Amino acid sequence: MLKLAAEFRAFALKGIFLGEVVNFLLVPLAVFLCIVKVLDWIAGRRATEPAAAPPPTRQETLLAEIRDLLKARQV
């Protein structure tokens, strides 16, 4: 009977140790992943900058050329 109790105790201690190792690894992993997700979410909200201005239309380009020619003529 004592031998059976000693075997069970050894088995239980191995199980407790294994459970503690799993907790030691999983809890920090879960906390890390939660923090990373929150930081990614915050960074994603900050990254929504306004889009770049579209290239000038043909009309705007021609008007800019006319403006530059008039400036050059006045000087």
Token pair in block for residue 70? 């008039």
Helical H segments across the chain, by residue range: 2-46, 58-74
pTM: predicted TM-score of the whole model, two decimal places: 0.45
What pLDDT is recorded for position 8? 82
Q: What is the DSSP string of 8-23?
A: HHHHHHHHHHHHHHHH
Please report the pLDDT score of residue 10 as a whole number.
84
Owning domain of residue 68: 2-74
Nearest alpha-carbon partner for 14 in 6, 2, 4, 26: 6
- Predicted confidence at residue 47, as pLDDT, reads 67
- Kindly give the confidence (pLDDT) of every residue in the chain, 75 residues in length, as a single tens digit, with 9 standing for 90 and above: 778 888 888 888 899 999 999 999 999 999 999 999 988 888 887 766 677 889 999 999 999 999 999 999 986
Domains: count for the chain: 1
